[in-house]
Chain A
Amino acid sequence: MNEARAVTIIMVEDDEGHARLIEKNIRRAGVNNEIIPFTNGTEALTYLFGADGSGEASAGRHLLILLDLNLPDMTGVDILEKVKSNVHTKRSPVVVLTTTDDTREIQRCYDLGANVYITKPVNYEGFANAIRQLGLFFSVMQVPETA
Chain B
Amino acid sequence: MPISSNFFVRSTAALLVVGLLALLGILGTTLWLVEQTQHYFDEVVEAREARTATVDLRAALQDAETGQRGFILTLDERYLEPYNAARERVLPLYEVLSRVLAPYPQAAEPMQRLEQAITLKLEEIDETIALARGGQVADAVAVIHTDEGKALMDEARVFFDALIRAADQRLIEGVEDQRGSAIALRWITIIGAIIIVLVVGGSALTVVQYTRDLMAARREVEAANSGLEARVAERTADLGRANEEIQRFAYIVTHDLRAPLVNIMGFTSELEQSVVPIQRYMETRPEDDEDPALAEARLAAREDLPEAIGFIRSSTRKMDGLINAILKISREGRRPLRPERLDIAALLEGTASAIHHQVSENGGDIEIDIANPKLTSDRMSLEQVFGNLLDNAVKYRDKSRPLKIRVVGRDAPGNRIFIDVEDNGRGIAPQDHERVFELFRRSGEQSQAGEGIGLAHVRTLVRNLGGDITLTSELGVGTTFRVSLPRDLRAIVGSSAK
Contacts and interface: CB of A to CB of B under 8 A. Distances in A.
B497 to A, nearest CB: 21
Interface stretch (A39-47, A79-87, A116-124, A138-146): A116-124
A130 B268 CA distance: 17
Interface string B259-274: 1111101111110000
A59 interface: no
A21 B267 contact: yes
Nearest to A19: B263
Most chain B beta carbons < 10 A, residue from A24, A123, A127, A128: A123
B269 to A, nearest CB: 5
A99 B258 contact: yes
A18 B262 contact: yes
A69 to B, nearest CB: 10
A122 B261 contact: yes
B265 A123 contact: yes
A143 B29 CA distance: 123
A124 B259 contact: no
Contacts of A127: 262, 265-266
B324 A17 contact: no
Contacts of B270: 21, 24
Given A21-B267, A24-B270, A128-B269, A122 B255 contact: no
Interface string A64-85: 0000001000000000000000
A67 to B, nearest CB: 15
Contacts of B259: 15, 18, 70, 99
A100 interface: yes
Contacts of B258: 99, 120, 122
Contacts of B81: none
A125 interface: yes
**Interface of B, helix, strand, loop or mixed by DSSP:** helix
Interface residues of B, number: 18
Nearest to B324: A122
Given A18-B262, A21-B262, A124-B262, A99 B255 contact: yes
Contacts of B323: 122
A122 B269 CA distance: 13
B320 interface: yes
Interface in B106-139: none
B268 A17 contact: no
A15 B269 contact: no
A119 to B, nearest CB: 10
A122 B319 CA distance: 11
Interface in B257-308: 258-263, 265-270
Most chain B beta carbons < 10 A, residue from A18, A70, A122, A123: A122
A15 B265 contact: no
A21 B264 CA distance: 11
Nearest to A13: B259
A21 B266 contact: yes
Contact of A18 (B263, B320, B324): B263
A70 B317 CA distance: 24
A24 B267 CA distance: 11
Contact of B320 (A17, A24, A122, A128): A122
B269 A17 contact: no
Contacts of B268: 124
A40 B328 CA distance: 30
A87 B479 CA distance: 67
Contacts of B263: 15, 17-18, 21
Contacts of A123: 265, 317, 320
Interface in B305-352: 317, 320, 323-324
A125 B320 CA distance: 13
Contact of B265 (A24, A100, A124): A124
Interface in B225-270: 255-256, 258-263, 265-270
A124 B262 CA distance: 6
A120 B262 contact: yes
Interface string A1-32: 00000000000000101100100100000000
A17 B265 contact: no
Contacts of B269: 124-125, 128
Contacts of A100: 255
B310 to A, nearest CB: 15
30 contacts: A15-B259, A15-B260, A15-B263, A17-B266, A17-B267, A18-B259, A18-B262, A18-B266, A21-B262, A21-B267, A21-B270, A24-B270, A70-B259, A99-B255, A99-B259, A120-B262, A122-B261, A122-B262, A122-B320, A123-B265, A123-B317, A124-B262, A124-B265, A124-B266, A124-B268, A124-B269, A127-B265, A127-B266, A128-B266, A128-B269
Interface of A: 15, 17-18, 21, 24, 70, 99-100, 120, 122-125, 127-128
Q: Please give me the 3 A-B residue pairs with the lowest Cβ-Cβ distance, nearest first.
A: A17-B263, A124-B265, A21-B266
